Amino acid sequence: MAQTRFRGPVLQGKFNEAGITGYNLEEKSSDYTIQTSDLGKMFTSKSGDITFTTHAHATGYTFTIVNTGADGANEIKLVEPVGSKFSFAGGTHTTLTNTKATSKVGDFVTIHSGTAGTMWYVLNVQGTWAGS
């Protein structure tokens, strides 16, 4: 029997390859600021180092960012706008980083903007992510 190895979240949806609306997977290859209009999207990144900046805090938004680059080839940073923080690993941080040296294909983080003012909560994470 063949063995399958799977790492990372299931990418549910489809990439927008035809330039039309209604698709929920987006590949990003350069720095990007997540907008409130991106609700329901899952972002992937496989090339180089990229920084995702969250939008100004608004309650009830959930986003997932997935590292689809080869092991050790891609760094992903999540940065907060002024006044917001990530609740992660027992502390609060302004940046979360999946460093290039420790990155693996399929590493991901899911964040949610809760009701506590300016806090983003890490709901799910895989791989090595550091808060600062």
Helices (H) and strands (E) in the chain, counts: 0, 12
Quote the pTM value. 0.80
- In 21-115, the DSSP E strands lie at 25-27, 32-33, 42-45, 49-53, 62-67, 75-79, 85-88, 91-93, 95-98, 108-113
CATH T-level fold of 27-131: Jelly Rolls (2.60.120)
What is the length of the chain? 132
The yes-or-no verdict on residue 35 having pLDDT over 50 is yes
pLDDT at 4: 45
The yes-or-no verdict on residue 18 having pLDDT over 60 is no
Amino acid sitting at position 22? G
The yes-or-no verdict on residue 38 having pLDDT over 60 is yes
The H-or-E segment that residue 119 falls in is strand 119-126
Phi first, then psi, for residue 37 (nearest 5°) are -70, -10
pLDDT at 97: 92
Tens-place pLDDT, residues 68-95 = 888 888 899 999 877 778 888 888 888 9
Sign of CA dihedral 17, 21, 23, 24: positive
